[in-house]
Structure 1
Amino acid sequence: MESDKYYIVDCSKKDTSLFDQLRQELITNGYVKVKCENLLNGDYNKACLDVITNLGGICCPYDDDPTSLIWPVKVLELDTPGSKLQASQLDRELVLHTDCSYEHDAPHFVALYAVQCDRTENGGKFHMIPTQEIIDKLSSETKHVLRDGMYKINVPPDFRKGDIDYIYGPILFNDGKNIRYRRDIIDKNRLKEESTEKQAALGELNSIILAEDQLNLFRPKLENNMMVLFNNRSFLHGRTKILDHERYLLRVRFNLV
């Protein structure tokens, strides 16, 4: 990744040339960061959605409601063994993953808008890594199994569309160039019935992703009203455990047209 630069977006006007530049950088590099200023009526929801719209993005609902475009990433409950909430609503660390791993055709892009950053030194820090760096660490046999094998992936209850509770799909797709991965929703009971090759391949992938101290993670610095937008197929992303329980981000998935 290049230096952690960002662009200023004046929300009181539409700078077409700036948004053309941001769009091109997002397409080319798979990542861009902006800081929103002059929010109309302090409306950060509108600011977030307007940036995506001005880039030529179409937001994707997270459930059956076509207006469910923004998912609040905030601590609603402390993480316990009995927690039923989504991981993004708990204070736990989020292991590197891709969004919408439970959809066959997941949105290409993710936006995260910081309403309130974690004000502690190390808590709730966002990080990411190019997908290719993970794939390059896999053995040839594991790449083959993860590309050709079908794994049962559960759909989290809050994100179900229609009556789809799970999908079957490969972990590597698009000729092995992209990853579909969220460790906690790969069906563990089904995996026990799979071949030793499929279990071993997933185990190798897990061991690489969980060894974060051996990965070249990119940690963009975020301030309030900053927004990162990135390619959901080119990067895995995660965060450290949240220590400031007032931390609050907006998450939006979208495609470019």
Structure 2
Amino acid sequence: MTTIHRTPRFLRPGCPPISFHSRHRAGPRGSCQQYATATAPTVPHLTVRDVIDSHQRHHVRDVHTQLQTQGILKITLNFCDKESQYLEKLIKGLGSNHGHGPPITHSASRGWYWDVRPSKNTLLPMSTQARSETMREFPWHTDCSYEHNPPEYFALQVLQPDRCGGGTLSVLKIDHLTRYLSRAAKAALFEPEFRITIPPEFVKEPNKLHILGSILSTDEDHSTLMRFREDIVTPVSTRAASALEELKDALKHLEASSQAVLHLGPSVLPENSIILLNNRRWLHARNNVKDPARHLRRVRWSAVPFSNSISSGMIAGSEGK
């Protein structure tokens, strides 16, 4: 039997609630963008007693409902599951009972799961290491933004939290972010005028090194969706460049001044916990990892077209290196 409840607002570990004042910046044509105090979203929370719950239809339905309505869910496992059997069976149940697509492979050489931890092979050049294999911070992004069909969902299972105060996962709802963009910026972000480079460690076809597409899209419910990772996005028009700068500016201000950003540190996501996210409705980021033994396991699933993306860039492998 599973129980579901709402967790309180999550702040940085050790930080008391803060009263934020509204902040403003000049927008296009003298307009004023306001970064006001926002009501922090809450994170639904399920507690699972046994791996067999992953076979229970009511439990799978609860997970699906929360992902559909909130786009985020925390699960606490009251048992040890180093092999991630619960997560594997849950995703299969979401597929057979609720139409979720299957897990996707991470690269040509890896399968469903990706172990998110600092690489022990320090001799590897940085260009061949995934960002998740380093201890560096990872700014705001969505997973697989370089894919025509990015996954709709991903999950992170905590096998070993950062015991030194680093590696905090932060999340921001995209609907909240887009409120602070001008109409012109949003219109430009919906256009397929952004070159998105595929990181070398995720190249699956040697002659396919980038795609051309939009940053924003919508689904059948007219919700705003996003794919974004700043370090691999290049605007290919003047209006796209202006819109991208406005987006980055909004992110910077919201991160500094808004309660809309949730910080999910080890006290919130301890060992045996799982966080599931809608990858198109939430951005996520990570600060510097301080514990080299930090270990999370990631799985992504339900890859569907990002509707505004268009043809991929086909360039010679030597040109992309």
Give TM-score, length-normalised by structure 1.
0.86
Task: Determine if the alignment matches structure 1 residue 218 to structure 2 residue 270.
Answer: no
CA drift at 1:9: 4.5
Q: Secondary structure at the match of 2:212?
A: strand
Corresponding residue of 1:240: 287
Task: Determine if the alignment matches structure 1 residue 59 to structure 2 residue 103.
Answer: yes
- When residues 219 and 51 of structure 1 are mapped into structure 2, their CA distance, relative to the original with a 3 A threshold, is farther
CA drift at 1:151: 0.7
- When residues 20 and 3 of structure 1 are mapped into structure 2, their CA distance, relative to the original with a 3 A threshold, is closer
- Out of 190, 194, 214, the position equivalent to 1:170 is 214
Instruction: Spell out the pairing of 1:83-94 with structure 2 (5 A cutoff).
Output: 83-84=126-127, 85-94=129-138
Corresponding residue of 1:21: 62
CA contact 2:143–2:279 (8 Å) conserved in 1: yes
Q: Secondary structure at the match of 1:251?
A: strand
Please list the CA deviations of residues 68-108 of structure 1 after superposition, one character each: whole Å capped at 9, or x if unmatched: 111111112799xx722111111111111111100122111
CA drift at 1:3: 5.1
Q: Secondary structure at the match of 2:190?
A: helix
Corresponding residue of 1:2: 42
Q: Secondary structure at the match of 2:208?
A: coil
Return the alpha-carbon distance in structure 1 between the equivalents of residues 78 and 303 of structure 2.
23
- Out of 251, 268, 274, the position equivalent to 1:209 is 251
CA contact 2:216–2:225 (8 Å) conserved in 1: yes
Q: Secondary structure at the match of 1:153?
A: strand
Q: Secondary structure at the match of 1:223?
A: coil
Aligned CA RMSD, in angstroms, stands at 2.5
Aligned residues: 246
CA contact 1:114–1:225 (8 Å) conserved in 2: yes
Task: Determine if the alignment matches structure 1 residue 158 to structure 2 residue 197.
Answer: no
Return the alpha-carbon distance in structure 2 between the equivalents of residues 239 and 217 of structure 1.
12
- Out of 144, 166, 178, the position equivalent to 1:100 is 144
Corresponding residue of 2:239: 197
Structure 1 unaligned residues grouped into runs of 5+: none
- Out of 108, 112, 115, the position equivalent to 2:159 is 115
CA drift at 1:160: 1.9
Q: Which has the higher contact order (CA 8 A, sep 6+)?
A: 1
Q: Secondary structure at the match of 1:197?
A: helix
Q: Secondary structure at the match of 1:227?
A: strand
Q: Secondary structure at the match of 1:55?
A: helix
Return the alpha-carbon distance in structure 1 between the equivalents of residues 52 and 78 of structure 2.
8
| Identity value in percent | 28
Corresponding residue of 1:141: 184
Corresponding residue of 2:171: 128
CA drift at 1:118: 0.8
Q: Which amino acid aligns with 2:119?
A: L
Task: Determine if the alignment matches structure 1 residue 46 to structure 2 residue 89.
Answer: no
Return the alpha-carbon distance in structure 1 between the equivalents of residues 64 and 287 of structure 2.
29
Return the alpha-carbon distance in structure 1 between the equivalents of residues 105 and 133 of structure 2.
18
CA contact 1:77–1:90 (8 Å) conserved in 2: no
Corresponding residue of 2:13: none
CA drift at 1:158: 1.9
CA contact 2:151–2:303 (8 Å) conserved in 1: no
Return the alpha-carbon distance in structure 2 between the equivalents of residues 47 and 149 of structure 1.
39
